[in-house]
Amino acid sequence: MEQETIEIQLTPEERSLLLRYGYPFEQIEHALKACEATPDIEIISIDCFELERLIGDVCRSINHMNGGALQNQLLDLCDRLEAAKKSATACWTCIELAPRAAPSALRLLQARPPSSPPQLCSHR
């Protein structure tokens, strides 16, 4: 079964952070490195499985830090990746997260079975 592909716009800083702290699969690593030299915002295509793994690896890197500007940058990046995944797929309910909410909290809420039939978010 073919995975849904998501297109994500990434700044040079975000691409650099993903290469260093996201431990991307080879295909994504090549895509990130292919536009490494450009100062422009670039679009990277990624499937849902790869995106989930990338989010998990960024979260792992965040959890091994003791705060600071780098951790904040990774939190912001993780929020953007999760928003891209959420907006590209149907979800059971729209979950409003406070700034700097733990990314794992969103995954735990999404993992719960729905109490009613799945519906598309109102923003779609």
In the predicted structure, residue 115 carries a pLDDT above the cut 60: no
Q: Would you state the pLDDT for residue 2?
A: 56
pTM of the model: 0.67
| pLDDT on residue 87 | 82
Q: Where are the domains of the chain?
A: 5-89
Is the torsion defined by CA of 72, 98, 95, 111 positive or negative?
positive
DSSP code of residue 5: E
Q: Tens digits of per-residue pLDDT, 25-74?
A: 899 999 999 998 899 999 999 988 999 999 999 999 999 999 899 999 99
* 51 C-beta neighbours (distance < 10 Å), count: 23
Can you give the pLDDT at residue 122? Answer: 36
